[in-house]
Amino acid sequence: MCEEVLDGSGYPCLEYLVQTEDGFLLGLQRIPHGHDNNLLTLKKQKPPVLLQHGLLQGGDNWFLNPPGQSLGFILADEGFDVWIANVRGTRWSRGHIALTKTDRDYWDWTWDELAMYDLPAMLKFVYKTTGSKVFYVGHSQGTIIGMAAFTQTHVTDMVAAAALLSPITYLDHITSPFFSKAAHHYLDWMVKTMGVREFNLRNDLGVELVDWVCQRDDVDCGDFLTALTGANCCFNTTRIPYYLEFEPQSTSLKNLGHLAQMIRRGTFSKYDYGYFGNLQHYFKLQPPEYNLSAIPETLPLWMASGGEDALADPVDVLHMLEKLRTKPDMIYLADYGHIDFILSIRAKADVYDSMIDFFKSHTEL
């Protein structure tokens, strides 16, 4: 990613490869500092922050706008040691110690594995490399796997504080016409019977699936992005061709099936394999729910949600807040949609300045 996205930006960029316990090789990038040329400042230890992208995206999405508008650049210039996560199956994390992307087992995962293996592996690498607890920023699916991972004390022990953009744990009130109809018409089941394991909107099958959903009378895909995520107020539409050079990226069909289960059932649980499969995996008939009350009160949380967000609906956000033992710092932007939180040209003033103040208030360095 350093060469493809950040080359020529003037920011230093380092690349690492992190192995998960189940054998996936994840690309992890780092911007250790911003444009500060003061030698004393450069030598000073900087608080690390890990940026976790959302569904069908990669770590590049934190850098697709100019430096004054992209969170990754802004955090580096604000004195943070910026680390960029990329989960399995995305453009920057396609490796495995034994499998290739054409193998069936390579795509046999959902966000359960991202929360159990990918995020802890990357956090552990950053924590050990820097010797410091890590600030966490997640967007969309990055908030799902973050909140699931935070129910594990060995993860929260490495986290200084967390900021969640478009926070999601429950999905049963989403207003996204595309995802809602795809889930309720069991599109994931239909495709699974075809033997498909990778979901890639750039290949022929991905295009066919989109066409199938968009042809339904109750789904208007005239503005496809709005049909997916809701109306976005504030990003520069002239940059869409540039965005499309990097997004969307692949995920597993099983992962989409897991999200569809959440939409249909209103649960924040592990993947449902059916009665017999659940007995094999969990030794019980129903998949276990993630216990949000297990997230320690000592973990500072900050969240930003939008009134036009068709995926992180305010009702579902409230449901999540009711489950937590701690009261997060919150900001609400009535005109923000799902993508505005990472691509809005106003995001620095609207969102990021508040987040950065929150992080600095919990910085011990």
| Residue 138 structure tokens | 């997640």
Would you give the DSSP letter of residue 292? G
Sequence-separated (6 or more) residues with CB below 8 Å from residue 118 = 20, 24, 26, 85, 87, 88, 145
By three-state DSSP, how is residue 350 classified?
Answer: helix
Among residues of the chain, what percentage have pLDDT more than 90?
71
Higher pLDDT, 118 or 211: 118
Q: Report pLDDT for 183.
A: 79
For residues 91 and 249, the answer to whether their CB atoms sit within 8 Å is yes
Q: Would you state the structure tokens that stand for residue 117, as one six-digit string?
A: 């293996």
Model pLDDT, residue 223: 60
Within 10 angstroms of residue 255's Cβ, the number of other Cβ atoms is 26
pLDDT value at residue 40: 46
What does the alpha-carbon distance between residue 363 and residue 360 come to, in Å, rounded to a whole number? Answer: 5
**Looking at per-residue confidence, does 326 or 28 come out higher?**
28
Question: Please, which pLDDT band fits residue 181 given cuts at 50, 70 and 90?
Answer: confident
Mean pLDDT score, 350-356: 97
Residue 152 region by backbone torsions, left for phi larger than 0, else alpha for psi between -120 and 50, else beta: beta
> Which residue in this structure is represented by tokens 């929260």?
156
Q: What is the pLDDT of residue 12?
A: 93
Q: Model confidence at 108, in pLDDT bands (50, 70, 90)?
A: very high
Over residues 13-19, mean pLDDT: 96
Q: 254 versus 203: which is more confidently predicted?
A: 254
Give the integer Cα–Cα distance in Å for 164 and 62: 14
pLDDT tens track for 289-304 = 999 999 999 999 999 9
pLDDT reported for residue 241 = 85
Query: What's the average model confidence in pLDDT over 148-165?
Result: 97
Contact indicator for 341, 335 with CB cutoff of 8 Å: no
User: What is the number of other CB atoms lying within 10 angstroms of the CB of residue 192?
Assistant: 15
Mean pLDDT, rounded, for 144-152: 97
Decide if pLDDT at 278 tops 70: yes
Strands, E, within the chain: which ranges?
Answer: 14-19, 24-31, 48-52, 81-84, 95-96, 134-139, 159-165, 198-199, 251-252, 301-306, 329-333
Give the whole-angstrom CA distance, residue 96 versus residue 93. Answer: 9
What are the structural domains of the chain?
2-361 (3.40.50.1820)
Please identify every residue annotated as catalytic: 140, 309, 338
Average pLDDT over the chain reads 89
Residue 221 pLDDT more than 60?
A: no
Whether residue 187 is predicted with pLDDT greater than 90 in this model: the reply is no
Q: What is the mean pLDDT of residues 203-210?
A: 63
The answer to whether residue 10 scores a pLDDT higher than 90 is: no
Range of 207-211, 235-239, 253-257 with top mean pLDDT: 253-257
pTM: 0.93
By mean pLDDT, which of 54-63, 175-184, 350-359 is the weakest? 175-184
pLDDT at 147: 98
Residues 45-104 have pLDDT tens digits of 899 999 999 999 999 999 999 999 999 999 999 999 999 999 999 999 999 999 999 998
How confident is residue 20, by pLDDT bands cut at 50, 70 and 90? very high
